[in-house]
Structure 1
Amino acid sequence: MDAQQLLQLLQATLDANPNTRLQAELHLAQASRSSETALGLARLATDQQVEVPWRQAASFALKKYVKEYWSPFFASFKGPEATSPEIKEQVRQILYGGLTDPIRKIRLACANIVSLVAQPDWPEDWPTLLDQLLALVRSPSIDAVEGGMRALNDFVSITLTEDQLLPVAQDMLPTLLAILGAPETYGPSTRARVVLIFRQCVMTLFTVKDEHPAAVKAAVGQILPVWLNAFKQLLSSDPAAEMQAAGSCECFAVRTAVIQALEVVLNSFPSTLKATLPDYLAIASAHLEALLPVYEAACLSSSSDFSLPSASTGEEDSDVSTDLGTLVASIIDFVAQAGRRKAVRAVLTDGRGPSATLVEFCLKAIDFAKMTTDDEENWASDPNAFVADEDDEMLTAYNVRSAALDLVIAFVETLGDSAYRALQAAFERTARRAEQQKAAGDEDWWKGYDSALAVVGAVAEDLIEHVQECQEEAKSPAFALEPVFQGVVMTYLTANDVPFLQGRAFVFASQFSELLPTQLAKQYLDAAISVLDSADASVPVKVSAVRALTNFFRHLKENVDPSQAATALAKLLPLLPETSENTLVLVLDAIQSLLRVGGPSIDAATCSALIRIVLQTWFEKPEDPLLGSSISDIFAALSACASPVVESALLNEALPALVSTMAEGRSDPNSIRAAAALDICSRIFSRFPTPLPPRSFERVAAVLFDLLATTEDRDVTQTGLDVVTTVIRKDVSQLLEWRSSSGESGLDLVLAVVARLLEPSESESGGLFVGDLVIHLVRKAGTAIGPVLPGLLRAFVTRLATAETAMFSQSLILPFAYLLHQQPDTVLSLLENLTVPGPAGQPPQPALAVLLSHWCDYANDFQGYWNQKVFSVAMAQLYSLAAERPALQQVQVKGDMLLTEANTNKIMTRARARANPDQFPPIPFPAKALKLLLHDAQTAAQTSGGEKGVPDDAVSDDEDDEWADEGAEFTAGNEKDLDFLSDMLAGGGLSKYMTSDDDEDDDVDEQDLHDDPIWQLDLHEHLKSFFRHAYETDRTSFRQLAETYLNEEEKGVLTHLLQSA
């Protein structure tokens, strides 16, 4: 099909007649099966005699063709055969010509397709591509330069081998640097594109630095200093003056790209910036100082009529930003990253406290965090927008305000007391300035107070901890909150004429409520409650009051009077039908927070009304996941209430309503309402007490088993199994005693579900939680499940033979591990006398070999604190049993990967992986068991205490160690490193990071596992004893296995385990 025929087809695809459009689309799809179509579309797209819209349509069609018919490389390839090499060569050259097209849209379209084609074709089929693109970049034609750079930008993102990467960077970057330094020839957009390509090269170098440290270090030393020097020169001028002189914001494009590139360099190769980082910090400060008046006039002032000049070009470049806000946010982000580095510590602090520079940065953070006029207008009338933009948990857009808050957070996390003192000074200066503006009649005077409170509120958690520590030590905190409350919060809490500041006062008070005197905190709480139904309160104030209530109830907890909780609930409930989207979720979150405190004291009528209104709210939009999550949280909070009134309402009102909705799944397997109702039901049972309320399971059992028996939805299956597992763990007798209308027991139906999910035809995702269910069934109903246990284990190991994923394998292996610990002889006898069908085309396999090979293959991927202990204890037991059971010694499993020239110190591309698949020589199971148990011993040591010699407040700097070899602490023969390892193995590690003080949000009550002996077992000590005993008794030829099969690293770990035992 020639170009003219294709043009007619493309025109017909946009015809007003739907039949004509459909026919044209079908003909175009049929034509795409011919390689000639690619050639026709390429010619059409680059034909300057054709109107631009049809050239764009041809480009779009060609891009679609490339993805579907060019090469099997693409996941969307339809085939059956790829485009012929002869046609490909012609299309590539036509597209290359299109990179110089005078129409920018066509250049960009061709560049996009060139980069797409390059993925499968370069370098083998298009070896000249790089040289061709560099030739364009060096061309005197501005069009050719831009087209070549757009293609280059995507080109450097293609996965490069180590042989290609460095020559590409060394050939390309000098040419690009020359363009960057020629503003009289090239426009800001083109020069910004140069910086984007440089940034991508830095990112690519960083990804391969571990594989090729010497080569990358040499390249970085050669390339980065020249570019960093150029960046410093580019940033030396005043950005506001440059904008004014140019009469356009387009000049911001280069600065934004440079700042963002500097941040990438800082995070990738920080040592290259170590000496000059203070200079760049000063440049950033000067930029913020110069841009603040422009930002205030354009974005903050309600009285200013100044507007930013538009970019001089009429065409958008999605990758190059000329936006003032983006430039400011990028500078602030860079300062936040730089502020964490030791290289600028002396700039930000003077040894005794904050420097003037740090105070100025905090002041600039407050200034730039002010509410913009656009925000003010949108938030005043749209509560959902106000919630989405201001709520930390719902923040959807990153902007100048959020960047400013993050800057202060970074200072506080890194500099501690100095940051607090700087923030105090900045707050006081802002307050004085606000009062001066107020006295002068400036209508925006309140914005300084609002942003100052927002900035301090952003570090509330850290500041509260700081104040509490100072109280314990009887010293004054670095930031004094009392003057803020007395001088600002108390003053503006009732200021109806400045609603945003009034609302901010409520939120601020709630953020620090746990530091307030109890009586004062209750007064603030009453004030927030009274606003909810006030006719005088505006939207921002009411929304802020709801946010404040959430914080008050979270922080005050038992200090809240039940009457306050009841009053707040009575005023929040009527808001549910009146709100939507983000605001509705905010109200629901406030109710959930309230229930944690006041739930046990609410009366029957209020509880019934709450359940009814919340379910009505949910029924209106069951497909909304955010809304469903919040409503589930409310029911979980109700379930956790120690109240007979609440329990009765849940059993007699909530569960029947939910079961009725779940029943819709019987006739409509895809019912969203049924799935959502099941989710809520699962949350209710997860927070019910142990044992469960009497007859609670019987209210949901029938419909639950119906859904599990018929659903194809994996999420519904998982949630249903969660409910059953929770019932087993909390009150298994309710499951065992329940009977269906046809007389089947709950246990029978559970086993039927398990059997269905273990069918080879079923997806592995559906059976991920079967093992968890069965393990708890064994733990809680061992006698009842005894007669069917052998058959169940046979089904598990049979399915394990064809399992392909670690998670599914863990689910199937876990019951064996637990039972091997409890009944080793019984389980091993079963496995030793059983064979199972192998994967398609393979002979039957011994069940014991299937279990042990899958266990060993995936052992290091197993997850779960209790699960991992079960696996380790059982593995140690199996090793010990191998001395008397030859079958265990005879099983061969995968050993360590065989290192070859093909897979050592090379990036494994897809082609290399196919040509050189990894090899794992087989070793006896007992040898593999030792390897895995040594790994478990290391992990147990790391999670049992703190590492010695590493201060808790250490700040990672990475300025001198980006080339350091990782894992050196395990190198055998290095005594210093082994001493450190010995310290870890003797106790210490990461346990302080593995626990949380806030367990009240956990969905599943883990107490039944906490009481299990394996949970309470000190695994580190257990494994030390195991290795000591195995060594002393030479159990299962321990010493020979260790000498033969352990590598040097493992031998070093073993030595220190034995020495510390």
Structure 2
Amino acid sequence: MELNDANLQQLCGYLQQTLSPDPNVRRPAEKILESIESNQLYPVLLLTLIDKAEIDMTIRIAGSIAFKNYIKRNWAAHEDDGSPDRIAASDRAAVKSMIVTLMLKSPLSVQKQLSDAVSIIGKHDFPKKWPELIGEMVDKFGTGDFNVINGVLQTAHSLFKRYRFEFKSQSLWEEIKFVLDRMAKPLTDLLLALMNLTKAHEGNVEALKVIYGSLVLVCKVFYSLNSQDLPEFFEDNMQTWMNAFHELLTIDVPSLNTNDDEEAGVLEHLRSQICENIAMYAQKYDEEFRPFVQQFVTDVWELLVKTGIQTKYDNLVSNALQLLSHVAERTHYRALFEDPKILASICEKVAIPNMDFRQSDEELFEDSPEEYIRRDIEGSDIDTRRRAACDLVKTLSVNFEAKIFQIFSEYLQILLAKYNENPKANWRAKDTAIYLVTSFASRGGSQKHGVTQTSELVPLPVFCAQQIIPELERPDINELPVLKADALKFVMVFRSLLGQQTLLSCLPQLIRHLPAESGVVHSYAACSIDKILIMRDSNNSLL
């Protein structure tokens, strides 16, 4: 293929046709593009078309998507299956020389697709076959153009996030060192410049959104670069980063607060990522991070107390609670939590409010039972407030069992008394009570056997007889369905500890709930019966 206007025009026409709602127009155009993509200069032709401002934006976006998919299909295909390389060496070199500059000057919708393409190429070629990429990106930090800077940060995030989960190896260490030598200082300088800009543009809401958006990306890149080990540069500059994190957790920026109850704003995303960063340091780099722990526990505690129950704060609250759990796990931080007043305050103001069954939970229960079950039983609720609050309670109850039991016993009585006053109106109080007992009592178990170790302070059979079985015995199997589901799940989770007689007395009630209208209730009933019927005794005989 030649790089000329006629070919560009023809390519433009095919891309236009791929946007047609008529399959008789769209599919032939897609087939033609697929058939010519092995031609030399095809990727260069695509990038040239994307770069032309006079071409309609929808066609440029279609071109950027076609380019990304072309890279995804072909860049490493010959390495994976041993087939001949479909991309000429000259095209590979041309793509790498053009794509970063083009990506950074493109509109956001195009930039995103090209950023993904850079990440795919980088995964295979960076750093050995594309060592100049990092220098090209870092140079752009000095432009002062946030469209460009955010494009670089987004690409860096896509490129480096695999460091979070890849297995340790010599080649990985070498790559991370290569990146750190070139990226760590410029990233730190950018952080400080952004912190100064937040003050310089205090009155400009649009500017602040962009600046804080850049800070979110800086914090994501920081997480990736620190995931495998504590780099020497970041250890030497820990004070700088931690001061910035402290300031960003505690600063109030009313102009960035959103009116939307469900969609998180830039400030929530930023604080959530900072909590993740701090939690990683608390877990992995305990000794070096120790001087900062008390300050961050205070910051996060104050943040949790003033954060509302709206869905938009869920990720932030979950990460903040997980941070407290990680700190509370360490024996040398026990002094931070030992005071009964502090423990009572954590239970009252943080743990219990975040265990409450909210309106959004009820909507999920009624409208998306499969998703509710996936979160509640299958463990995909790892990032929810409830699970994070539950993990915090478990951690505190292991380290401060007697004190926590005393505090929770008082709240348990209050919650159950509130429920008994008016069961139909106050059923949420009992839901929280059951969740509280489950969180506190559980000490260990497995998928096969349920919970097998519990706190000796919790009389499970008594609680089951007084609070769980009465819910299952209600004549109407469709009344208060959330409490029915709670009761069924309680029997299922603690089946190995309730004793054979209790399970035998429960079985008819479980069977009775199989035709319940609620998808969650009848699924839990079926699941409970299934788990009980495959239980075995110490001789491996079926019970």
**Shorter-chain TM-score: what band?**
0.7 to 0.9
In structure 2, do the counterparts of structure 1 residues 356 and 585 end up closer, same or farther at CA, with 3 Å as the change threshold? Answer: same
Q: Which residue is 1:170 aligned to?
A: 184
Query: What SS does the corresponding residue of 1:83 show, helix, strand or coil?
Result: coil
Q: Which residue is 1:403 aligned to?
A: 388
Determine if the alignment matches structure 1 residue 559 to structure 2 residue 501: yes
* Matched AA of 1:514: P
> How far does the alpha carbon of each residue in 1:942-996 deviate from its partner, in whole angstroms, 9 at most, with x for none?
xxxxxxxxxxxxxxxxxxxxxxxxxxxxxxxxxxxxxxxxxxxxxxxxxxxxxxx
Q: 1:451 aligns with which of 394, 409, 432?
A: 432
In structure 2, do the counterparts of structure 1 residues 554 and 71 end up closer, same or farther at CA, with 3 Å as the change threshold? Answer: closer
* Matched AA of 1:269: Y
In structure 2, do the counterparts of structure 1 residues 559 and 115 end up closer, same or farther at CA, with 3 Å as the change threshold? Answer: closer
Query: What SS does the corresponding residue of 1:367 show, helix, strand or coil?
Result: coil
In structure 2, do the counterparts of structure 1 residues 366 and 239 end up closer, same or farther at CA, with 3 Å as the change threshold? Answer: farther
Q: Which residue is 1:369 aligned to?
A: 355
Q: Which residue is 1:591 aligned to?
A: 529
Determine if the alignment matches structure 1 residue 259 to structure 2 residue 275: yes
> How far does the alpha carbon of each residue in 1:60-84 deviate from its partner, in whole angstroms, 9 at most, with x for none?
2212222333345753x78522533
**Contact 2:442-2:453 at 8 Å conserved across structures:** yes
In structure 2, do the counterparts of structure 1 residues 153 and 527 end up closer, same or farther at CA, with 3 Å as the change threshold? Answer: closer
In structure 2, do the counterparts of structure 1 residues 392 and 460 end up closer, same or farther at CA, with 3 Å as the change threshold? Answer: farther
Shift of 1:152: 1.7
**Contact 2:60-2:110 at 8 Å conserved across structures:** yes
Shift of 1:238: 4.3
* Residues 115-264 of structure 1 mapped to structure 2, 5 A cutoff: 115-157=119-161, 159=172, 161=174, 164-181=178-195, 182-183=197-198, 184=201, 186-205=210-229, 216=231, 218-238=232-252, 243=257, 249-264=265-280
Q: Which residue is 1:15 aligned to?
A: 20
CA distance in 2 between counterparts of 1:591 and 1:137 reads 60
In structure 2, do the counterparts of structure 1 residues 150 and 395 end up closer, same or farther at CA, with 3 Å as the change threshold? Answer: closer
Determine if the alignment matches structure 1 residue 278 to structure 2 residue 294: yes
Determine if the alignment matches structure 1 residue 69 to structure 2 residue 54: no
In structure 2, do the counterparts of structure 1 residues 544 and 356 end up closer, same or farther at CA, with 3 Å as the change threshold? Answer: closer
**Contact 2:15-2:29 at 8 Å conserved across structures:** yes
CA distance in 2 between counterparts of 1:80 and 1:45 reads 28
Q: Which residue is 1:537 aligned to?
A: 479
Q: Which residue is 2:4 aligned to?
A: none
In structure 2, do the counterparts of structure 1 residues 15 and 272 end up closer, same or farther at CA, with 3 Å as the change threshold? Answer: same
Query: What SS does the corresponding residue of 1:23 show, helix, strand or coil?
Result: helix
* Matched AA of 2:473: S
Query: What SS does the corresponding residue of 2:479 show, helix, strand or coil?
Result: coil
> How far does the alpha carbon of each residue in 1:270-289 deviate from its partner, in whole angstroms, 9 at most, with x for none?
22221120111011111011
CA distance in 2 between counterparts of 1:551 and 1:203 reads 34
CA distance in 1 between counterparts of 2:395 and 2:270 reads 26
Q: Which residue is 1:105 aligned to?
A: 109
**Contact 1:381-1:539 at 8 Å conserved across structures:** no
Q: Which residue is 1:621 aligned to?
A: none
**Contact 2:355-2:432 at 8 Å conserved across structures:** yes
* Residues 803-952 of structure 1 mapped to structure 2, 5 A cutoff: none
* Residues 619-768 of structure 1 mapped to structure 2, 5 A cutoff: 633=534
CA distance in 1 between counterparts of 2:116 and 2:455 reads 55
Determine if the alignment matches structure 1 residue 93 to structure 2 residue 35: no
Q: Which residue is 2:400 aligned to?
A: 415
In structure 2, do the counterparts of structure 1 residues 264 and 1002 end up closer, same or farther at CA, with 3 Å as the change threshold? Answer: farther
CA distance in 2 between counterparts of 1:202 and 1:235 reads 20
Q: 2:313 aligns with which of 296, 316, 324?
A: 324
**Contact 2:140-2:149 at 8 Å conserved across structures:** yes
Q: Which residue is 2:342 aligned to?
A: 357
Q: Which residue is 1:546 aligned to?
A: 488
In structure 2, do the counterparts of structure 1 residues 448 and 541 end up closer, same or farther at CA, with 3 Å as the change threshold? Answer: closer
**Contact 1:367-1:448 at 8 Å conserved across structures:** no
* Matched AA of 1:224: M
> How far does the alpha carbon of each residue in 1:865-893 deviate from its partner, in whole angstroms, 9 at most, with x for none?
xxxxxxxxxxxxxxxxxxxxxxxxxxxxx
In structure 2, do the counterparts of structure 1 residues 405 and 25 end up closer, same or farther at CA, with 3 Å as the change threshold? Answer: same
Shift of 1:87: 2.4
Shift of 1:332: 0.9
Q: Which runs of 5+ in 1 are unaligned?
A: 207-215, 300-322, 469-476, 482-511, 596-632, 641-997, 1004-1061
Query: What SS does the corresponding residue of 2:329 show, helix, strand or coil?
Result: coil
CA distance in 2 between counterparts of 1:536 and 1:170 reads 59
* Matched AA of 2:237: I
Determine if the alignment matches structure 1 residue 58 to structure 2 residue 63: yes
Query: What SS does the corresponding residue of 1:48 show, helix, strand or coil?
Result: coil
* Matched AA of 1:263: A
Shift of 1:107: 1.7
Query: What SS does the corresponding residue of 1:275 show, helix, strand or coil?
Result: helix
Query: What SS does the corresponding residue of 2:104 show, helix, strand or coil?
Result: coil
Q: Which residue is 2:328 aligned to?
A: 339
CA distance in 2 between counterparts of 1:82 and 1:1001 reads 58
Shift of 1:467: 6.1
Please tell me the root mean square deviation across aligned C-alpha atoms, in Å.
3.8
Greater relative contact order (Cα 8 A, min sep 6): structure 1 or 2? 2
CA distance in 2 between counterparts of 1:282 and 1:144 reads 36
Q: Which residue is 1:929 aligned to?
A: none
* Matched AA of 2:432: S
Q: TM-score, structure 1 length as denominator? A: 0.43
CA distance in 2 between counterparts of 1:70 and 1:104 reads 24
**Contact 2:394-2:439 at 8 Å conserved across structures:** yes
* Matched AA of 1:136: K
Shift of 1:376: 2.4
Shift of 1:148: 1.2
* Matched AA of 2:302: A
Query: What SS does the corresponding residue of 1:235 show, helix, strand or coil?
Result: helix
**Contact 1:196-1:257 at 8 Å conserved across structures:** yes
Query: What SS does the corresponding residue of 2:383 show, helix, strand or coil?
Result: coil
Q: 1:514 aligns with which of 455, 461, 469?
A: 461
Query: What SS does the corresponding residue of 2:318 show, helix, strand or coil?
Result: helix
Report the structure number with the largest CA radius of gyration: 1
CA distance in 1 between counterparts of 2:532 and 2:130 reads 65
CA distance in 2 between counterparts of 1:386 and 1:170 reads 42
- The count of aligned residue pairs is 507
Shift of 1:1000: 7.2
Q: TM-score, structure 2 length as denominator? A: 0.80
> How far does the alpha carbon of each residue in 1:972-1031 deviate from its partner, in whole angstroms, 9 at most, with x for none?
xxxxxxxxxxxxxxxxxxxxxxxxxx757799xxxxxxxxxxxxxxxxxxxxxxxxxxxx
* Matched AA of 2:66: A
* Matched AA of 1:540: V
> How far does the alpha carbon of each residue in 1:352-402 deviate from its partner, in whole angstroms, 9 at most, with x for none?
xx432222112211012111112223435665555444x444555631122
* Residues 29-44 of structure 1 mapped to structure 2, 5 A cutoff: 29-44=34-49
In structure 2, do the counterparts of structure 1 residues 169 and 430 end up closer, same or farther at CA, with 3 Å as the change threshold? Answer: farther
In structure 2, do the counterparts of structure 1 residues 105 and 1000 end up closer, same or farther at CA, with 3 Å as the change threshold? Answer: farther
> How far does the alpha carbon of each residue in 1:435-455 deviate from its partner, in whole angstroms, 9 at most, with x for none?
9xx99x9x9865455324412
Question: Percent identity of the aligned residues?
Answer: 18
